[in-house]
Amino acid sequence: MQVRATATRRFLLETAARLFDERGYAGTSISDISALSGRTSGAIYFHFASKEKLALAVVEEHFATWPALVARVRAADGPALEKLVALSFTVARSFRDDVVVRAGSRLWMERKAIDEQLPTPFVGWIEAVTALLGEAREQGTLADSVVPEKAALGIVYAFFGLHTVSDALEGRDHIEDRLHDLWLLLLAALQADPDPEALLGRVHAGPALLSR
Amino acid sequence: MQVRATATRRFLLETAARLFDERGYAGTSISDISALSGRTSGAIYFHFASKEKLALAVVEEHFATWPALVARVRAADGPALEKLVALSFTVARSFRDDVVVRAGSRLWMERKAIDEQLPTPFVGWIEAVTALLGEAREQGTLADSVVPEKAALGIVYAFFGLHTVSDALEGRDHIEDRLHDLWLLLLAALQADPDPEALLGRVHAGPALLSR
């Protein structure tokens, strides 16, 4: 029974995520989720006390996606700047392909319409990028002028701005090409001995050890 | 009468913007706007046919803020990279201080909850930044590796991401310091002969010829 309840909860969460992603928070009702899932409203309320709690669960599920991935990247051997770039591509693909990630991101944008305290994003990313830049400094691959804490903020701004702009203008269809171009710019500032194309080539050719 | 009607419309638009900025689209009703403005709902509906149309008017007013400013910057004499940096500070201050700009930005984020087609942002900014980078190339101040069209996208991503992150983490209180730090990173990639601190010093010391 427990296993089945967990599977049902997950199924309802993903169904709700599809609707939140397509229609936003205000445009999605428990009735809509009931109709799409084929479950009664009562069954939905059994798992989630309210639409607010369901939205909160989607956002929390999105946030829960990352810590294990980040820990794996930080623990891996290899040049830190390559790990950072590879991580960004893994995350970008999740934003494009994972409906819970997409819905969680959308709901967070609409957070003022949701009567629940949502977790704060960005902080964990800023820490992770700062740490990877610090590792690059130890490896001697970071330009002298770069201050890891400050550059990490710039990288996080650019990465999240890319998702907003790409989503608005082209439905994220070209997100990997756009991210490649963004790194051409950022790596020219970050690398001690700039050769962004070569670094990107190594990342694209590398093993998918960062897949989730 | 026409002058007074225009002033009333503007007053209602700014009152609505204050509420949309604080509470979001779903959290704001015509009754709230009536209560805060001291005008009847009927008076509001005389100027704006619906809450959707009022939100659309706020977004359009936000978008209408920029073309004249951008045209003035592009027409001005001077080093193009300095004009670009100065423009970014002027826009950032507007995002922090102008409630119509802030509300328009918030409503655009919540666009899936609004049953009106809103204008598409970013395109005008991408064009303006591309043009300024092209001008920098002609002036010999742009690094050879920089492709204006691609770098312009990266700059626009970073600039809009900065607003999202700064708003979420610190209520935009330190937006000018954060923007300064972002340019330290980006200018290291953009300048043919990188000296970001010197360029930023000239911009901060320069005349406020870009004020709106």
Domains in chain A, please, with CATH? 2-55 (1.10.10.60), 62-205 (1.10.357.10)
Tell me the pLDDT band of A2, cut-offs 50, 70 and 90.
Answer: confident
Model pLDDT, residue A208:
56
Residue A185 with chain B: CB contacts under 8 Å:
146, 150-151, 154, 186, 189-190
Instruction: Give the dihedral sign, CA B5/B7/B8/B10.
Output: positive
Which residues pair with residue B142 across a beta bridge?
A: B191
Decide if B151 touches A, using CB distance below 8 A. yes
Return the pLDDT at A115. 82
> Which of A126, A157, A159 would you mutate first to test chain B, the one with the most B CBs within 10 A?
A157
Using 50 as the pLDDT threshold, list the residues of chain B that sit under it: 211-212
- Which neighbouring-strand residues pair with A117? none
Cα–Cα distance measured from residue B103 to residue B105, given in angstroms and rounded to the nearest whole number: 5
Band of pLDDT at residue A186, cut at 50, 70 and 90:
very high
Burial class (CB in 10 A: 0-12, 13-18, 19+), B9: middle
Q: Which of A24, A157, A189 sits opposite B188 (nearest CB)?
A: A189
**In this complex, is the C-beta atom of B17 within 8 Å of any C-beta atom belonging to chain A?**
no
> In this structure, which amino acid lies at residue B28?
T
How far away is chain B from the Cα of A103, in angstroms, using its nearest Cα?
A: 12
Q: Which of A84, A88, A127, A153 should be substituted to probe chain B, the one whose Cβ sees the most B Cβ atoms within 10 Å? A: A153
What are the tokens at B26?
């779903």
Question: Is the pLDDT confidence value at A1 over 70?
Answer: no
B164 burial class (0-12, 13-18, 19+ CB within 10 angstroms)?
buried
* B120 neighbourhood in chain A, CB within 8 Å: 168-169
Q: What is the pLDDT of residues A66-81, one digit of tens each?
A: 999 999 999 999 999 9
Half-sphere exposure of residue A181, counting CA atoms within 13 Å on the CB side? Answer: 19
**Torsion over CA of A13, A129, A126 and A204, rounded to 10 degrees?**
-40
Kindly state whether B185 is in contact with chain A, defined as any CB-CB distance less than 8 angstroms. yes
Q: What are phi and psi for residue A76, nearest 5 degrees?
A: -70, 150
